[in-house]
């Protein structure tokens, strides 16, 4: 876990990427995509950021697009697995939804750079990667919807439209990546708890006090 | 008002920009910033998009940054004036907040291209423009906070933290610009109403039924 004053090393997100040089390239790509945007980033920017030659980049990634694909796909897989694990921990719909929002929001604060690139550069993904990422997003949305639906069926949630509510829950979490800063007063975990309270109210749960 | 199948012409947002050639350049800049990102857009892209020569661009804007500044500043001024007008229409905090969310969300859906560029290219603004835009954002946030505070004082809202709640309200609206598409089933006004219902619940108002 990173300290609140420095952004966490995204490399922890990519343990499966080997060798270490490939992870270094992903981190340099991530930084440049976040700062300049995907289209303004060249493979030279990425290689230089990783302290390597442009030719060395191609040993690990066939293109800039392949590197974006790996960042985006792994970020989306991570969040899907995060929400799946959160809702699998209990049976009470209120507690499952609380865990889901806490984890989803905290991740988007902690990994705001990864999340911004994954969210804002969707249109830059090659067609096949776009299809895969869209599938992961659909699955994540299904987890949220079915958790809301369980709560509605149990009589603890009350929403006019499950799809709109699910979209709003995800939207609140994703938008954290746009504005979150380590220099602000809130830790990712604080924010997750505050947002979980707000979401539960939005879903019609009265705060117990 | 644009039809749901085609994005509205952002030129309606810029009636004050004269002559028409300057508005055409702003529209071409907006399209390229939204598609390629600010840093990958050249003044040649913008001029070509507007059907003009690169030299003709400099008659109207001193730089690409001046053009982004005008798009961002006017978008932020528009939303500030929108929320101010929405809350000025009534005295009941619930109705004022409903109007605020309806207008703010509908605008971010209808003008999602303008909103995306205004939100995601903040870091690309020159220093002075950044200061001005930050001020407009702070004023918009103040309108939301004071409307929530009025409701808390009147005993109709109940939130753990006014600042966090205000941030969440704005976040829900702004994130609409990221995912909204004219090809979806909902009009901007539909979405505004649905989100207003969700926000009022989030602020502790029980739906009347």
Chain A contact for B119 (CB, 8 A cutoff): yes
> How many CB atoms are located within 10 Å of the residue A77 CB?
17
- Rg of chain B over Cα atoms, rounded to whole angstroms, equals 18
Average pLDDT over residues B183-206: 93
Smallest Cα–Cα separation from B129: which of B175, B176, B64? Answer: B64
Q: What is the per-residue pLDDT across B123-175, written as a single tens digit (0 to 9) for each? A: 899 999 999 999 999 999 999 999 999 999 999 999 989 999 999 999 999 99
Burial class (CB in 10 A: 0-12, 13-18, 19+), B46: buried
Contact B37 A35 (CB under 8 A): no
> Most distant CA pair in chain A: distance in Å?
62
Q: Work out the pLDDT band at B4, boundaries 50, 70, 90.
A: very low
Nearest to A195 among B159, B168, B198 (CB): B168
Smallest Cα–Cα separation from B27: which of B8, B40, B54? Answer: B8
- How far is Cα B56 from Cα A158, in angstroms, rounded to an integer? 58
Burial class (CB in 10 A: 0-12, 13-18, 19+), A11: middle
Q: What percent of chain B has pLDDT above 70? A: 93
> Is residue A168 within 8 Å of residue A202, measured between CB atoms?
yes
> Is residue B193 within 8 Å of residue A159, measured between CB atoms?
no
> Is residue B123 within 8 Å of residue B187, measured between CB atoms?
no
- How far is Cα A13 from Cα A74, in angstroms, rounded to an integer? 8
Residues of A in contact with B159 (CB under 8 A): 198
Mean pLDDT by 10 residues, chain A (209 residues): 47 79 93 92 95 93 95 95 95 96 97 93 93 97 98 94 95 94 92 96 81
Complex ipTM more than 0.90, yes or no: no
User: What is the predicted pLDDT for the residue at A8?
Assistant: 52
Residues of B in contact with A164 (CB under 8 A): 194-195, 198
> Is residue B172 within 8 Å of residue B104, measured between CB atoms?
no
Contact B179 A171 (CB under 8 A): yes
Smallest Cα–Cα separation from B26: which of B5, B52, B7? Answer: B52
Nearest to B171 among A165, A175, A207 (CB): A175
User: To the nearest whole angstrom, how far is the Cα of B194 from the nearest Cα of chain A?
Assistant: 8
> Is residue A65 within 8 Å of residue A124, measured between CB atoms?
yes
Q: Where are the alpha helices (DSSP H) in chain A?
A: 20-36, 43-49, 54-60, 64-88, 93-110, 112-120, 127-153, 162-179, 188-202
Question: Which residue out of A34, A35, A117, A171 would a mutagenesis test of the B interface target, given it has the greatest number of B Cβ atoms within 10 Å?
Answer: A171
Contact A175 B175 (CB under 8 A): yes
- How far is Cα A119 from Cα A104, in angstroms, rounded to an integer? 14
Our CA dihedral for A57, B37, A133, A170, rounded to 10 degrees, sits at: 130
- Rg of chain A over Cα atoms, rounded to whole angstroms, equals 18
Our CA dihedral for B17, B142, B65, A44, rounded to 10 degrees, sits at: -150
Contact A36 B36 (CB under 8 A): no
Q: Work out the pLDDT band at B22, boundaries 50, 70, 90.
A: very high
Domain annotation for chain A: domains and CATH numbers: 13-61 (1.10.10.60), 64-202 (1.10.357.10)
- How far is Cα B39 from Cα A34, in angstroms, rounded to an integer? 11
Q: What is the per-residue pLDDT across A177-203, written as a single tens digit (0 to 9) for each? A: 999 999 988 999 999 999 999 999 999
**What is the token pair recorded at A37?**
């945007």
> Is residue A198 within 8 Å of residue B168, measured between CB atoms?
yes
Nearest to B202 among A37, A171, A202 (CB): A202
Q: Work out the pLDDT band at B2, boundaries 50, 70, 90.
A: very low
What are the strands, taking DSSP E only, across chain A?
none
User: What is the predicted pLDDT for the residue at B15?
Assistant: 80
Smallest Cα–Cα separation from A72: which of A110, A21, A129? Answer: A129
> Is residue B38 within 8 Å of residue B29, measured between CB atoms?
no
Contact B164 A198 (CB under 8 A): yes
**What is the token pair recorded at A46?**
């990425």
């Amino acid at each position: 876990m990173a300290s609140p004053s420095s952004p966490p090393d995204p490399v922890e997100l990519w343990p499966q990427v080997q060798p270490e040089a490939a992870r270094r390239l992903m981190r340099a790509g991530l930084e440049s995509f976040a700062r300049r945007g995907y289209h303004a980033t060249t493979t030279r920017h990425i290689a230089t950021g990783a302290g390597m030659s442009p030719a060395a980049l191609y040993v690990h990634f066939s293109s800039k697009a392949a590197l974006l694909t790996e960042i985006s796909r792994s970020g989306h897989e991570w969040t899907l697995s995060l929400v799946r694990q959160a809702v699998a921990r209990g049976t009470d719909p209120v507690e499952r939804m609380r865990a889901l929002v806490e984890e989803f929001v905290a991740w988007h604060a902690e990994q705001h750079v990864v999340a911004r690139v994954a969210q804002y550069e969707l249109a830059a993904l090659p067609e096949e990667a776009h299809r895969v990422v869209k599938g992961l997003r659909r699955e994540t949305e299904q987890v949220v919807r079915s958790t809301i639906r369980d709560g509605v069926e149990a009589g603890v949630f009350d929403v006019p439209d499950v799809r709109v509510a699910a979209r709003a829950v995800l939207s609140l979490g994703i938008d954290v990546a746009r504005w979150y800063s380590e220099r602000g007063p809130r830790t990712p975990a604080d924010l997750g708890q505050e947002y979980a309270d707000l979401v539960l109210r939005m879903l019609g749960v009265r705060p117990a006090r």
